[in-house]
Structure 1
C-alpha cells in the first residue's frame, strides 16, 4: 500500500523539523559575520567589536566584524535582511537603522519589521546639549534667552538629519521657542571642532564624543535630554529639571538577525551576548566613556522598548514633516 499524500507531507515536515533541530544543536560550527552598517570609527564600532570578540569566545567560533557603511545604513542593513536566516549573519542594530530609517525614507526596499528581528540591546548612548566657552551662558534657560536676543545669529551643529541628535535639536528649538540655523558637519569630530571655534553655538551630541571636552573645560554642558541625570555628569540637569518638557533622546546599540532565524539559534546567540554585556569589564569600559549598559531583555521587553522608541521618534518626525527621500 502506497503512503498517502498527507502521510508524505507529515513525513517531510517531521524530517525538516529534525534537520532544523540537528542544525541548531550544532550551532555554531563555523565563523559568524557581524555586519556593521557604519564606518569603522567611533564608539558604535568599538562596541560592535567588543561584542564580537566576547561572543566569539563564548561561542568558540570567530565573530568577524564587517563594516558596510553607505546609504545612511541602508546598504549594510539590507544585506542582513536578505541573508539566510541561520544565525551566521548578524546586524549591528541601532535606532538609526531599525527605528528612524523607516520613518525618514519612504522608499526603503526592505521592511525592517518583517525582515529583521532585534535579539538584544546592549547599551544606550545618551546625548548632551553643549555650547562653547565663548557663549556667555551657563544653563539652558540662559541659552534660550541668548538665542532670542540674537535672532538669526545662533547656529547649531548638525551631524545630518537621520539621527537622534538632529531630531533632538529640532525638539529643542520648539522647547526654547527660538529659531537657529543648521550648520551640517560630516561627523561628530568636525561638528565638535565647529562648536569649539564658535562657528556653531550649540550641539546635541552623543555624550561619549563630547565628554573629554567637557572634562577638559572646553565645552559647557547645558542639560541632558534624558529621563534622569547621567552617571558621567551628575551635576548637569535633565531637560525637565531645566524647566522644559521632558524628552528622552538616546541612541541604542544591539544585535538583529534575519526574521525566521530558529528560536534555538537565537537563544544561543542571546546567551553569548548576555554573558559579554554582563561582564564587569564590558560594563566598566563603556560606562567610563558615557554609555549606559543595559541588562538583558526578554523578547517581550525588547518589543516593548522598540515600540516606545518608534512612537517617540515617529511622532517627532511627523510633527516636523521630516523626509529624506
Structure 2
C-alpha cells in the first residue's frame, strides 16, 4: 500500500512525453485560445449592443459564450505555462480549485443548453404566448439554476475525489486535474468513489441530454404538422445551430466520462480532452455565427463600429501630433 501520507503537490505530466513538440503545441494552442476569446467576446458584444438580439435565445447564447470563455481560462493559460516550463507542479489546493471550476462550468454549459432547447420548444409550440411564458425573469431563473446546479455537482465531485489519500506517485498523467488521472493516484480503495462520481456525471450529462432530446422530439412532431414548407424550414433553421453544438459537446463528453475506463487509457483521454477544452470552444461560436444571419448582421455592425472607433482614435493622434 506504500506510504499513506497525503501528497501536498502533484506533477502535471501532460505533454512532457513530447518534448520536441512543446513549442509547436504552445503556438497552436495560444492562437487557438486567442481566437476563442475573440470570437466569444464579439458574440457577447453583438448580443449586448444589438437590440434585435435582446431575446431569450440570444440571452442564453450570451450566457453560454461567457461560461465557455471562463472554462477555457481555467485550463488553457495553465497549459500554456506548463508547455514552456520545466516545473509543472501544482498544489493540492490549486488542483482541487481547477477541478471545481472546470466541472462547474462544464455542468453549467450542459444546463444552459437544456434551457436553450426548452426555449426553442416553447417558441415553436406556443408562438403566440411565447413572450408571456419565457419572460426576462424566467430566463434569469433558468440561468441561475444552471450555474447553481453545475457548481453544486462539481463541489460534490471535488469533495469525493479529494477525500482520498494520495501517496507514492504524484504524477498526474494529464495536462490538467481531471478526475480519472487524479483518482488513479489514491492509496485507498476507489470503487465507491468511482460509482458516486459516475452517478453525478451521468446526472449532468445523461439527464440534461435526455431533456434536450425530449424537447427536440416534441419540436419535430410540431414542425412536421406545419402546413407551410417555409414555416417548417424557418422552425428547423432556428434549432440547427443549437443541435449542432449539442452534438459536438455531448459527443466528446460521453466518450471521455461515461465510457468504461482502462488502466492504460490516460493517453487517449488526454488527446480526447484536447478536443473539448480547445477545439469545441472554438467550434461553438463558429457554428452560431455561420448558421445565423441575425448574428452575422450584428457582428458586422460591431466590427464596423470598432473600425470607426479605431479610425477616430488614429485621427485624433495625428491631429495632436
Greater share of residues in helix: 2
Q: Judging by fraction of residues, say which structure has more strand.
A: 1
TM-score class, shorter: under 0.3
